[in-house]
Structure 1
Amino acid sequence: MRDLAAVDERLSALGLGAFDGAVETSLGRNKNFHGLATTGQRLFVKWFQRDPGGERFNRNHAFEATGSTVPKRPTLILDDAELGIAVYEYIEGVETATLAARENRLTPGHTATMGALVSQLHAVEPVGIGRHRCAMPPDLLFDAMPLEMFLGATGAELEMWRLMQGDPEIVEAIATLRRVEHREDYRTVVVHGDLRLDQFLINDDDVLLTDFEDVRIGDPARDLGAVVGELLYTAVIGIPGRLAEHLPYGAVVGHADILAEGSAAVEEQRPLIAGFMAAYREHGGEVDVQTGERIMRFAGWHMLDRMLVMSERANLIDAVTRGAAGIGRTILVQPSEFLDLLSESAHAH
C-alpha cells in the first residue's frame, strides 16, 4: 500500500487528514482512492499517474480554474500539482450511465439531463483552456502500426486494424474528421474530449458530469458523437442476447440475422438519443446539418473504437463483433444516412 501511504501523507500535509480505511480502484489511466478521512469527511482522490509533464492534471486544473459553476459535477476540494492529485467530495449511491444503459435503466429523462450538461460545458468561457490535438481517432495508425504495438497486439486487434487500414472509405472518413477539427475558421467550444457514458454519474434522477482531464477547445461534434456512439455501441453489444431470444435453439446464425438484430437494437436507442440531442439544443447548443454529419461520423468511430477495446481481450473476431463493427463502419462513412437518429436536432439550422 505504498501508493496509499504517499496519498495519506500528502492529504495530511494539506490539512484533510489521512484515509481511515480507503478503497483503491485503478480503472483506466489513473489510480483512485475513496473513503472516510480521519477528519470525518468522505473523499475521492484521483491520482494522475502515467501523466507525462502533468498534462492531464493541468487540463483538469485549468477547467476548474475557469470558476464555472456548470456543468454540475463533483465538488473539487483542492488539487495538488506536487503529487498530481485532485481531491473531491465523495458522492454516495451513484452509478455510471454505462451500468444503467446496459441494464436498460437509462431513460430519456436521464439522457436529456446529460444533453443539458454537455450544452452547458460547451458554453463555458475558454479562459486558460488550450487547443490541444486529441489522441483519438489515431489517424497515423491508419497508415501503419508501430512495431511495439504490433508485437503486443492480439489476433483480434490485428484483424480489426487490417480491416480498417485496408478500407479507403474509413481512412478518408477519419482524415475528414481530423481536417475539419483543425481548421482555424471552424466553430469551436470547450469540449470534454473523452466523453463516455461512464463519465456521467446518476443518482436517481440527478446526473453529474465528471473527469475533465482531457478538456480542450475543439469541435462540439466530438463530445456529442461520443455519447451517441456509446448509446449505439451499448445496443449492438446486446446482439448475442437478442439472437438467443429471437431465434430457435440450435439455429444457425447468419449475417442477415446479425444485421437485422443490430438494426432493431439501434432503433430502440432512438428515444435516448433524441432526448439527449433535444436537451442539448434547448440549452443553447447549436447543431446544423454539417455538425450533425460530424456527430454521426464521430459516433461511428466511437463504435469502432469500443470494438478495438474488446478485441484487446480476444484472439479472433467473432461474427457478431464483425457485424457490430460493420454497423459502426457504415455510420462513419455514410453519416448523412443516419441523421434521422438525431431527430429534429440535425435539421433545424
Structure 2
Amino acid sequence: MTDVTAAMALAFTPESLDEHPEVIGFLHRLGLGEIDMNTVSALGGRNPNWAGTTSTGHSVFIKELPAVVPTALQRTLAYEEVARRVPPGSPLRSPELLGADADAGLVAFHRVPGARAMNAIAVAGELEPALCVRAGAAIGALHGLDVPSGTDDSPLEMPPLAWLTALPVELLGGYSMAQLAGWRLVQNDAEVVAGLHALRAAEAAARRVPVHGDLRMDQFFLANDQLYLCDWEYFRLADPARDLGAFTGELVFQALYLALSDRRAATVAGGSDELDHTEIHRRATAGLDVAGDLVRAFWAGYREHAPADDPDLAARAFGFAGWHMYDRLITWGENHSQLNPVVKAIAGICRRFLTDSVATARLFGVALVSEELTC
C-alpha cells in the first residue's frame, strides 16, 4: 500500500461534540433536531467537521471555519449567492447549503449519500478521462458565471514571493526536516524562483473570473452519477489559470506518486523492484502517460464550457501546475523526516512545469489558444 493509499484508508475521528456545544445548538436553530451520535464521523481536511444523520432524518455535513479568518465564511456565502443563479443543467453542482452561523463560524450542508471523493477514485485506479472531462466542464462553467460587483478580488497568497528568499522565523519550528528540504529545493533553484516571480507578475495582469481558489481532487465528489464541487472558502475573482493549474498539477502529482510508489504494479509490468535511476525513469514515464490522458480530458471539458480564452492561459496554468506540485511535495513532508527518491523525482518534473510551461503544455497535448487542441 502506498503512502497515498494508506492516507485514504484512514478513518477520521471527529472532535467530541461535548466540546463543541455550539454545533448542537446550531442544528437546533436550523430545525434539524439532534444528531445521532452513532452515525457521527469526520472527513479529512484542515477544519473540524462532523457528518451524520439527525433525528429529523437529515443527512448533514457541518464544518467549523477558522474564527481568525471570517472571510472564509463570507466567501462561502458569496459563492452560495452566485450558485442560486446557476442555470439548470449546468455541469457545475454543489451540495445544498442548509444554513450558516457567522458568530460560531459554522456552515451546514446536505450530505449527499454514497459520495466518493475523486482522489479516492484515483487511488483505487478507477479515474477515467470521462470524469475529468466533467470536472473540466464544471470549472469552465464556474469561470463563466456573472458575479455581483464587490466580489472579493484579493490576491491568492501562495506562493508568497518573500518566502522564496527565506521562510518566516515563526514557521520554522513547525516544519519537519522534509518540509524544509522541500522549500530548499525551491529556494536554491534560481530558475524556479525566477519562474515563480514571472508567474505572479503574469497573474497580476490577467483577466479575473470567478474561481474556486483551492481546487484539488478531493474537492470533487461523485454520487449517483452526479459530480459535485465543494469547499468554497477561497472563492473570489482571480486568474482562471489558478484553478486550471491546481487541478492539472493534482492529476500529474497523483499519477506520478502512484506510479513511482507501487512496487507490485511496477514489477508486474516488467520493471524492477529496485528504485534505481532506470526504474524511476520507467515508472515516471508510465505515470506521465496516465496523467496525459487525464489532463487532456480535463482541458477538453474546460474549453467546451469556458468563456473566451486568452493567449497565455495554458502557459500560466502549467506554471501554476508546477507550483501546485511543489506545494503538494512540501505538504507530503509534514509527516516525514526526509524526502524520499519518489518525491525527489517528482520535484524534477515540477521544475519543468515552471521553467518551460509552454513546452510542457504542448507535451501534454494542451495547445495554446492559437493552436489546435490535440485530443
Same fold, TM exceeding 0.5?
yes
- Check conservation: 1:273, 1:341, Cα contact below 8 A: no
Name the counterpart of 2:80. 64
User: What is the TM-score when the length of structure 1 is the normalising length?
Assistant: 0.92
Q: Which residue of 2 aligns with 1:247?
A: 271
Q: 1:13: which partner in 2?
A: 29
Question: Are the structure 2 counterparts of residues 276 and 187 from structure 1 closer, same or farther at C-alpha, using a change threshold of 3 Å?
Answer: same
Displacement after TM superposition at 1:2 (Å): 2.7
CA distance in 1, matches of 2:366, 2:350: 22
Q: Is this contact kept in 2: 1:292–1:346, CA < 8 A?
A: yes
Give, in whole Å, the separation in 2 of the partners of 1:35 and 1:177.
43
Deviation at 1:285, TM superposition (A): 3.8
TM-score, normalised with respect to structure 2: 0.86
Aligned counterpart, 2:231: 211
Q: Work out the number of aligned pairs and report it.
A: 344
1:243, 1:165 → 2: CA distance?
A: 33
Given candidates 134, 145, 166, the residue that maps to 1:124 is: 145
Question: One-letter code of the match for 1:62?
Answer: A
Letter in 1 for 2:312: Q
Indicate the residue corresponding to 2:111 in structure 1: 90
Q: Taking structure 1 as reference, are residues 53 and 153 closer, same or farther at Cα in structure 2, changes over 3 Å only?
A: closer
For the residue of structure 2 that corresponds to 1:316, the secondary structure is coil
Q: Which amino acid aligns with 2:18?
A: R
Q: Is the 8 A contact 1:23 1:33 kept in 2?
A: yes
1:80 aligns with 2:101: yes
1:20 positional shift: 2.0
Q: What corresponds to 1:52 in structure 2?
A: 68
- Kept in 2, the 8 Å contact 1:20–1:36? The answer is yes
Shift of 1:122: 0.6
- The answer for the alignment partner of 1:278 in structure 2 is 300
**Residue matched to 1:35:** 52
- Quick check: 1:24–1:31 contact (8 Å CA) kept in 2? no
Match of 1:309 among 331, 334, 337: 331
Change (3 A) 1:279 1:171: same
Structure 2 vs 1, CA of residues 310 and 208 (structure 1 numbering), >3 Å: closer, same or farther? same
The reply to whether residue 111 of structure 1 matches residue 128 of structure 2 is no
1:2 to 2, 15, 18: 18
Q: Does 1:146 align with 2:168?
A: yes
Indicate yes or no: 2:315 matched with 1:298: no
Q: Which amino acid aligns with 1:85?
A: L
Q: For residues 318 and 178 of structure 1, do their structure 2 counterparts lie closer, same or farther at Cα, with a shift above 3 Å needed?
A: same
For 1:23, the equivalent position in structure 2 comes to: 40
DSSP 3-state at the match of 1:207: strand
- Alignment partner for residue 201 of structure 1, among 213, 221, 225? 221
3-state secondary structure, aligned to 2:31: coil
Change (3 A) 1:109 1:342: same
- What secondary structure sits across from 2:343 in the alignment? helix
Unaligned runs of 5+ in 2: 1-16
Give the RMSD, CA atoms, in angstroms.
Answer: 1.9
AA aligned opposite 1:103: A
Q: Which moved more, 1:236-245 or 1:311-320?
A: 236-245
CA distance in 2, matches of 1:267, 1:174: 26
Match of 2:251 among 231, 244, 247: 231
What's the % identity of the aligned pairs?
Answer: 32
- CA distance 1:105–1:64, shift in 2 (3 Å): same
SS of corresponding position for 2:332: helix
Q: In 2, are the aligned partners of 1:155 and 1:314 still within 8 Å (CA)?
A: yes
Q: Which runs of 5+ in 1 are unaligned?
A: none
Distance 1:342 1:237 in 2: 18
Superposition pairs for residues 161-180 of structure 1, below 5 Å?
A: 161-180=183-202
Pairwise CA distance, 1:203: 2.1
- Give the CA deviation at 1:342: 5.0
CA drift of 1:293 comes to 0.7
Give CA-to-partner distance per residue, 1:59-87, whole Å, 9 cap, x none: 10111122332521101122221211111
Bigger CA drift: 59-68 or 283-292? 283-292
Query: What is the distance in 2 between the residues matched to 1:342 and 1:191?
Result: 23
SS of match in other structure, 2:312: helix
Give, in angstroms, the shift of residue 261 of structure 1.
Answer: 1.9
* Residues 203 and 316 in structure 2, CA contact (< 8 A), matched pair in contact too: no
Residue 199 of structure 2 corresponds to residue 182 of structure 1 = no
